[in-house]
């Protein structure tokens, strides 16, 4: 739920819950123009601007297996190993 914005000089609520441009200080407006507009989520949230940037993705994987069966009949030892290295650049 969004709180109603109240004009401090008149005590009346602002129309459509927006401060008219004539009441915003020009220096403050210049600073506000430096901020990007929200492009994600709802207004008045902590995380409402999302930027996708190119990044590198590195992944290494290892698998090792060893089998040994001791018993009356001797079974051979089975071993195996594998390695995978993935390097990719993700362009967004």
Judged by phi (left if over 0) then psi (alpha if -120 to 50, else beta), residue 17 lies in: left
What is the spatial distance between Cα 59 and Cα 32, in angstroms, rounded to a whole number?
A: 41
Q: Report the C-alpha gap between 75 and 3 in whole angstroms.
A: 76
Asked if 82 contacts 88 with a C-beta cutoff of 8 angstroms, the reply is: no
The sign of the torsion formed by the CA atoms of 72, 77, 78, 83 equals positive
- Can you tell me whether residue 39 is helix, strand or coil? coil
Note the pLDDT tens digit of each residue in 8-29: 999 999 998 999 989 999 999 9
Give the residue, 15 or 86, on which the prediction is more confident. 15
Q: At residue 55, does pLDDT exceed 60?
A: yes
| Prediction pTM value | 0.40
Domain residue ranges of the chain, discontinuous segments joined by +: 55-90
């Amino acid at each position: 739920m969004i709180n109603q914005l109240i004009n401090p000089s008149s005590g009346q609520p602002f129309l459509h819950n927006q401060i008219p441009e004539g009441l915003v200080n020009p220096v403050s407006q210049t600073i506000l123009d430096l901020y990007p507009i929200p492009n994600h989520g709802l207004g008045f949230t902590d995380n409402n601007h999302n930027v996708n940037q190119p990044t590198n993705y590195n992944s290494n994987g290892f698998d090792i297996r060893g089998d040994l069966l001791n018993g009356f009949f001797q079974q051979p030892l089975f071993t195996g190993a594998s390695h995978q290295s993935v390097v990719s650049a993700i362009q967004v």
